[in-house]
Amino acid sequence: MTHRPNSDAWPTGTMRAAAVAAPNVTKVLDLPIPAPAPGEVLVEPLRVGLCGTDLELLHGTASYVRDGRAPFPHVFGHEWVGRVAAVAADKERDATRRIAVGDRVVGHTMISCGDCRACHRGRRNECGALREVGLYGQQGAAAEYLRMPARALSVVPEDVQDAEAMLVEPAVTVLEGLERVRCVPGDRALVIGTGTIGLLAVQLTARMAGAVDVVGVEDNGLATARRMGARRVFLPGQAPAGHYDVVVEASGAAPAFHDALRCTGVGGRIAAIGVATEPVDGVHVGELVLRGITVHGIRHGLDQYDRVLELFRDKALTADGMIADVVPLERVGDAFALLQDTGRTAPKVALDPRAA
| Model confidence band, residue 91 (pLDDT cutoffs 50, 70, 90) | low
| Model confidence band, residue 287 (pLDDT cutoffs 50, 70, 90) | confident
Q: 14-167+319-352 and 170-297: same fold?
A: no
Q: What is the pTM of this model?
A: 0.93
For residue 6, pLDDT over 60 is answered with no
Q: What is the mean pLDDT of residues 289-302?
A: 95
Tell me, what amino acid is at 331?
R
Q: What is the mean pLDDT of residues 251-272?
A: 96
Q: What is the mean pLDDT of residues 241-248?
A: 98
**Residues of 182-199 as b/e, b for ≥16 C-beta within 10 angstroms?**
ebeeebbbbbbbbbbbbb
CATH class of the region 170-297: alpha beta
For residue 156, pLDDT over 50 is answered with yes
| Model confidence band, residue 134 (pLDDT cutoffs 50, 70, 90) | very high
For residue 320, pLDDT over 70 is answered with yes
Which neighbouring-strand residues pair with 15?
31
Contact 300, 110 (CB under 8 A): yes
The tens digit of pLDDT for each residue in 122-133 reads: 889 889 999 999
CATH class of the region 14-167+319-352: alpha beta
For residue 5, pLDDT over 60 is answered with no
Nearest Cα residue to 327 out of 351, 354, 292, 309 = 351
Residue 168's contacts (CB-CB under 8 Å, 6 or more residues apart) are 81, 106, 154, 305, 308, 309, 312
For residue 304, pLDDT over 70 is answered with yes
Question: How crowded is residue 281: how many other Cβ atoms within 10 Å of its Cβ?
Answer: 8
Q: What is the mean pLDDT of residues 21-45?
A: 96
The domain ranges of the chain are: 14-167+319-352, 170-297
- Residue 104 CA to residue 15 CA, distance in Å, equals 20
Q: What is the mean pLDDT of residues 278-284?
A: 87
